[in-house]
Structure 1
Amino acid sequence: MFELIKRLTQSFGVSGNEEEIRETIINEIKNDIQEIRVDTLGNLIATKPGKGKKIMVAAHMDEIGVMATYIDEKGFIRFSNIGGVSAFVSLGQKVKFKNGTVGAVFYEDKLEDMKNLKLSKMYIDIGAKDKKEAEKLVRIGDVACFVGDAVRQGDMVISKAIDDRSGCAVLIEAIKRLPQTDNEIYFVFTVQEELGLRGAKTAAYQLKPDIAIAVDVTATGDTPEANLMEVKCGGGPAIKIKDRSVICHPEVKKLLEESARNINIPYQFEVLEYGGSDPGAIHISAGGVPSGAISIPCRYLHSPVEAASLEDIENAVKLLIEAIK
């Protein structure tokens, strides 16, 4: 599982620029599923045909990043965020543009109070001596992801883009392991989730599934002085009850809970008081779709050091297969 997550997390795929991660996923599943297509927006849809229930399983393949907005005469690059990028988390980090150019993120020396730190007071240094040299490597509108190698530390994997390449890994493993079923399963690797659940919305509208289950990460309450939350790493996959975009359908929640009990894996319940996820768009598409989610507990969300339990991820695979088979 770690090696798969490593390949996925280290593939470039900032929202709206998912070409590389999409090809990585295609290469992982092309020998295990017959129908693979890419829709107009860029969602990757892999279908296992059947005559039973039409089930949509979703995980977003995009990641947060930054976009170059201005290059000054000295070659320093100003930038804006793509998705939920924190100025404080970004400080002192490396970013990598699609062409491989790496830069350091830092802030203006004249900033007197760090409490006033904003992305508008920060820049990317790619080592260029002037604007002309910088423009040979980076153009306005180019996007970059954060740099964060995937490492294994005991049961934990630490990397950038665990959100939501861990969910993509769960879908890939489910495709490989799913036994024969009468249900028609759409495995959808969605785009632009970090920008407002965009890919999931269009995919659900096309497919009009009978039921939908998304796999994504969620926050935890198990770090020092964390906001109170029941979810913890190593406690098993979490069954989503709500976030700010959705209250999950009670029948889907019941299905997931019964499935976890059937295969005797640990599980927990997720009540996320902020943020949204793909079920938020899916459940109000195409006349309404009963939707729920399996959530992977993840520390340090939207940072280059996101951390999750490999055992939780493995159990998420088992739970998903049990629920959809």
Structure 2
Amino acid sequence: MFDLLKKLTQITGVSGNEEEIRNVIIEEIKDKVDEITVDTLGNLIAVKKGSGKRIMVAAHMDEIGVIATYIDDNGFIRFSNIGGVSKYNAIGQKVKFGNGTIGAVYYEEKIDDIKNLDLSKMYIDIGAKDREEALKSVNIGDVACFVGDAVRQGDMIISKALDDRCGCAVVIQAIKNMKETENEIYFVFTVQEELGLRGAKTAAYQIKPDLAIAVDVTATGDTPKCRPMEVKCGNGPAIKIKDRSIICHPKVKNLLEKAANKINIPYQFEILEFGGTDSGAIHISAGGVPSGVISIPCRYVHSPVETASLTDIENAVKLLVESLCYVEND
């Protein structure tokens, strides 16, 4: 699982620019599904056909990043955020543009109080001597992801873009491990989740599923002086109860709980007081869809050092596979 995660996380796939990560996922699953399509918005939809219930499984391919908005005469690049970029997490980080150009993110020296920091007062330094040289590597509108190598420390993986490439990895592995089922499964690798669950909304409207399960990361309550929260790394995948975008349907929550108990894996319940997942868009699409979420506990979300348990991720695969087969008997 680590090798797959390393492969997926190190690809640049900022929201609205998911082509490269989509192509890699296609290569991973093309021999394991009956049909693959890419819709107008860019969602990758892989289908295992069946005559039973129509189930949608969603994991988003995109990651947060930055977009070049202006290049000054000295070659420094001003930028804006794509998705939830923290101004504090961004300081001193490296970013990588699609063509491989690396830049250092820093802020204007005239700021004497870090509380006054704003993304508009920050810039990217790619080592160019002037605007003309900078434009040879970066143009206005080019996007960049943060740089964060994937490393393994015991049971933990530390990397950029675990949100939500670990969800993508779970779905890819579930496709490979799927048991026989009469259900028709739509595995959707969505675009632009970080910009407001956009891809999931259009995909759900098109598919009109009977039931949906999203796979995404969630915050944890296991670091020093963090916001109190039940979810902890290493205690198993979390079954979401609610977040800001959804109150999960009892039918799906119970389905996931029964499946976890059946295969005897550890799990936890999640109530997230901020943020949302693709399920937030899916459950209010096409007349309403009973929806739930398998959440992977992840520390330091939206940073280049997101941290998660490999065992939790592997158990999330088992939970997803069992749940998809359990639906027909539920």
In the superposition, the TM-score normalised over structure 1's length comes to 1.00
Q: Once the 2 structures are TM-superposed, how far is the Cα of residue 116 of structure 1 from its aligned partner?
A: 0.9
Mapped to 2, the partners of 1:10 and 1:182 lie a distance apart of 36
Query: Deviations for 1:256-289, whole angstroms, at most 9, x for unmatched residues?
Result: 0000000000000000000111000000000000
Whole-angstrom distance in 2 between the partners of 1:276 and 1:211: 18
Query: Hey, what does 1:307 align to over in structure 2?
Result: 307
Over 6 Å off, 4+ runs: none
CA distance in 2, matches of 1:50, 1:317: 21
Deviation, structure 1 residue 115: 1.1
Partners of 1:6 and 1:321 in 2: CA distance: 22
Offset, 1:12: 1.1
Using the aligned pairs only, state the percent identity: 77
AA of the residue aligned to 2:32: D
**1:151-300 alignment runs, 5 A limit:** 151-300=151-300
C-alpha separation in 1, matches of 2:116 and 2:51: 58
Report the equivalent of 2:328: none
Task: Measure how far apart 1:30 and its partner are.
Answer: 1.2
Corresponding residue number in structure 2 for 1:11: 11
What is the aligned residue count? 325
Q: For 1:270 and 1:179, how far apart are their aligned partners in 2?
A: 27
Moved more, 41-50 or 30-39: 30-39
**SS of aligned partner of 2:13:** coil
Q: Give yes or no for the alignment of 1:79 onto 2:79.
A: yes
Partner amino acid for 1:143? V
Q: In the TM superposition, what is the alpha-carbon distance from 1:34 to its structure 2 partner?
A: 2.4
Deviation digits for residues 136-183 of structure 1 (CA, Å, limit 9, x no counterpart): 111111000000000000000000000000000000001001011100
**Amino acid of the structure 1 residue aligned with 2:293:** A
Partner of 1:114: 114
Question: What's the CA shift for 1:199?
Answer: 0.2
Distance in structure 1 (CA, Å) of the matches to 2:76 and 2:12:
23
Residues in 2 aligned to 1:276 and 1:295: alpha-carbon distance in whole angstroms: 11
Partner Cα separation in structure 2 for residue 143 and residue 184 of structure 1:
36
Amino acid at match of 1:125: D
In structure 2, how many angstroms separate the alpha carbons of the residues matched to 1:232 and 1:212?
Answer: 25
Q: Please list every run of 5 or more consecutive structure 1 residues that lacks an aligned counterpart in the other structure.
A: none
Amino acid in the other structure paired with 2:205: Y
| In structure 2, C-alpha distance between the alignment counterparts of 1:157 and 1:25, rounded to whole Å | 20
Paired AA for residue 39 in structure 1: D
Return the alpha-carbon distance in structure 2 between the equivalents of residues 127 and 34 of structure 1.
48
Q: What CA deviation, in whole Å up to 9, does each residue of 1:238-270 have, x standing for no partner?
A: 000000000000010000000000000000000
Q: Distance in 2 between matches of 1:276 and 1:71?
A: 34
Q: What is the alpha-carbon distance in structure 1 between the residues aligned to residue 77 and residue 34 of structure 2?
A: 44
| SS of residue in 2 equivalent to 1:3 | helix
Q: TM-score, normalised by structure 2?
A: 0.98
In structure 1, give the amino acid aligned to 2:178. Answer: L
Residue 170 of structure 2 aligns with an amino acid whose one-letter code is V
Residue 136 of structure 2 corresponds to: 136
State the SS of the aligned residue for 2:186.
strand
